[in-house]
Amino acid sequence: MEATDHLKASLSAAIALANTFGSDPRQGRPATTPDAEAVSAALRLTTNRVPEIDVADYAAGAKILYDALRRLPDVDGAADLVNGLLRETKAAPQLVRRDGAPWHLHFGSPDEAAGWLAELATAVAMLLGSDEVERLRRCEATRCEDVFLDSTRNRTQRFCSTACQNRTKVAAHRARVS
């Protein structure tokens, strides 16, 4: 995995974790209470080595990430929140090597929630500090509070998922024919 790919993966994980704890409703449905499986699913976007999860350890940091991402395009407000999380998690880059795997950049212990939150906060911080910040969007569908990264070349993505896109299309069609 290239360095920039790893960063992208960490950013995807940060957005997934943020939505898991902050977004409600999601894709037309009331959010479910985050469980260990939901946290693992987010972390698996960046690694196969997911640690033992205690959901409570992730809740506060994930909510900060969500609040920061929801503040955009207010980058100043988002930066304040992310800086706070970087301080709190003592994010410090460290090359880590385990079990003969290649050296790998971490921003805290990968075995602890704080280490994960440090890494995800770093990925969001790098987004905030780049032109790519404009790609972070709020889903435009009704009954969905998710944020997502617009992956289209011409930056026209309006919905977090095909589920939200289809729901919106169906609603628009119904409005036309009624």
Provide the binding-site residues for Zn ion, judged by CB under 5 A.
Answer: 139, 141, 144, 146, 160, 164
The rounded distance, in Å, linking the Cα atoms of 172 and 158 is 15
Q: How far is the CB of 150 from Zn ion (least distance, A)?
A: 13
Q: Are 22 and 71 in contact (CB under 8 A)?
A: no
Helix, strand, or coil (residue 121): helix
Helix, strand, or coil (residue 41): helix
CB closer to Zn ion, 119 vs 146: 146
Q: How far is the CB of 141 from Zn ion (least distance, A)?
A: 5
Q: How far is the CB of 144 from Zn ion (least distance, A)?
A: 3
CB closer to Zn ion, 81 vs 147: 147
The backbone torsions φ and ψ at residue 29, rounded to the nearest 5 degrees and listed phi first, read -125, 150
CB closer to Zn ion, 15 vs 144: 144
Q: Are 86 and 27 in contact (CB under 8 A)?
A: no
CB closer to Zn ion, 45 vs 126: 45
User: Quick one: DSSP state of residue 155?
Assistant: S
Q: How far is the CB of 29 from Zn ion (least distance, A)?
A: 10
